[in-house]
Chain A
Amino acid sequence: MKAQDNKQQGRIDEKRYQEFLAKFQVDLEAAMSLVNPTPANIALYARILSRMGDSGRALAALGPALDHDPASPVLRVTLGQVHYDRKDYPAALAEANAVLELDPANKEALALKHFSEGRLDPGAAKSALAQGIRGGARAEQFRAPLTKDSPKVQALVPRIRAARNGGDMRTAMSLTQKLMRAEPASEYTQEIYRIVAKDYARWQRVQATIGNINSAKAALLAGRGDEALAWANNAVQTDPAPEVMKFAEEVRGIVGDGKIRETPQKSKPSSPKDGGIPLWPILPISGLGAAAFVVAKSRKTVESEDGFDGENRPVYGRLQQFVAGAVLAGLAGAGIYLAGATVIPVAVRYLAVPSQHAIRLAQSEAGAINPRSAAASKVGAQQANAAAQEATEVVRQVVIKKGEILNRVWDSRWTKEPPGAGFSGPTGASFCRGNCMPINSGSAITQRGLNIPGVSNNAGNAGTFRATEDIVVSVRQSIGGAAEEIVVSRPDISKLRMIEQASLPPGTAK
């Protein structure tokens, strides 16, 4: 009955929505697999990903291309646009200025500069790094690369700076390690390593604190008072900042003598009032998926009709058509939103640049994209906690593309104990996306939430796996940890092949 009611009210459930989204992503990847990896095509692909809210993958797509061609204006502008989407306006402005130094008339860079400057308030222009990692202290800086530095250094250092300024410390650290491998004896790279590693350790502590706080909230909601208290105390140990201590005090107040006195009520995110997802916006998304599919299917036909032979220009033209479809579909979504939907039409996030106004308009309503803030403004702090918890359990579904790398850690005792002992092994379901081999077991345990009740994983072993075909996976904030976790469905585990196994040294996350 509920499903029927939802349908009559023009709504679909979260699961169906995620299925549509996953389908769209598969179509996008299919379209991308048919085009040449030129800077223009990669830039456009990254732009679409970023507008979909997946700036991490957008940056990952741009990384190798920038390695190959660090001065490419289209790649640099796109990098700036991704920073803009992440609301890191200083970094966006820096990229725009870098392009304008070489090409003062570059229209995209001028537009990016204009919009980024418009977003900067001289009094509040702290980067995510300054706000989130350095606690407002002035960030320790390293110099920009000089012409005497090697091409590798000239390519990597701007990306490290951009990632660090954008608060993307995982990328910053990964690139810095790459830099160290390239030039381990250079004092310049050693200095960068020292600074970035220090920031990375701070960032890990911040993430661990966030993980502890989220776990405490989850335990409260589940009525497990003692566990909530333990998590809150962990948070204080990780970061004894005043606001964390205040949070722990509040938890103690709720829990009392180990018995919860006040049980927060769960919100119902599927209801229209509290952030359910209406059916209407999915129509443009389906349209986008269909557009991608049509582009992929019709490419050869169109090229032969046009007399092209598969070179870059016509392919880019197909992708531009794809985006044009996205713009139209997105505008339709915005219109529907403005006509009366009470929550964000997710399709608006697919809009290209000309529709920025519609996006801002949509975002200004009802807490907009972030379900946590939407809930906070509507159903009060306790229910916001519930909504946040639901949001962190299964955030979204994404496609792991064939050839992509995942990393996993497991318990070194798993082959030494009897079969029923229950230690996690190499064929488990939980992964980290990319080449994210942890530096030691302590780091993995903290980041991936392996020290909570019911988890038997000392992270003594780690493995790198490659996807042998496209796989749809779930992404969530790891429960009890800070890192994003990829959860692979059991039937798909056989589609991951291990390519490297290593023992992790013991150690702490600090």
Chain B
Amino acid sequence: MKIERMTKDEQLSMLVRGRWWDAVREKFDVDDPRDIITVSRNDLVEYFQKNPELALKSFEAWSKDRGALPYHDIGALWREGDDYKVAWMDHGKPTNLLSFSNLDDALATFIFYQAGLSLK
């Protein structure tokens, strides 16, 4: 059972902004910053549903040129037709590819992928 050391909204906002790993590590003096994350992927989906503009901005930030360049060992998020794709890139090839019909699900999954958090 994880102890909640940040509020749910603080965690969600932090995950969406990105660049939180080292800051959390220093602030809470934890070995693995993921230890302080208590929110779930569904919480993040709801968060985006409540903040549609943030979802669009986040997609713009995170999906930049993904899928077109030979990225390696990072998450990728892109739009393909009516679907949103989330994958982990391995020398330019998408692996663990997932497809979503709505942006909120895709974004939340991508952010959890990127953070190395369980999708459950």
Residues in chain A within 8 A of chain B (CB atoms): 415-416, 418-420, 422-430, 453-457, 479, 487, 489-491, 493-494, 496-501
Contacts and interface: CB of A to CB of B under 8 A. Distances in A.
| Chain A binding surface, main DSSP class | loop
B96 interface: yes
Contact of A490 (B21, B32, B72, B96): B96
A404 to B, nearest CB: 16
A491 B63 contact: no
B63 A498 contact: no
Contacts of A430: 73
Contact of B71 (A422, A491, A496, A498): A422
Contacts of A420: 61-66
B31 A424 contact: no
Nearest to B116: A427
Nearest to B111: A419
Report the contact-size class of chain B (Cβ under 8 Å from the partner).
Answer: 35 or more
A494 B117 contact: yes
Given A420-B62, A420-B64, A500-B31, A493 B73 contact: no
A296 B78 CA distance: 47
Contacts of B63: 420
A460 B118 CA distance: 26
Nearest to B58: A419
A490 B116 CA distance: 7
Contacts of A491: 96, 118-119
Contacts of B33: 498
Given A487-B90, A494-B34, A415 B113 contact: no
A453 B70 contact: yes
Nearest to B87: A490
Nearest to A457: B73
Nearest to A408: B73
Interface string B12-36: 0000011101110100000111110
Contact of B74 (A418, A422, A487): A422
B86 to A, nearest CB: 9
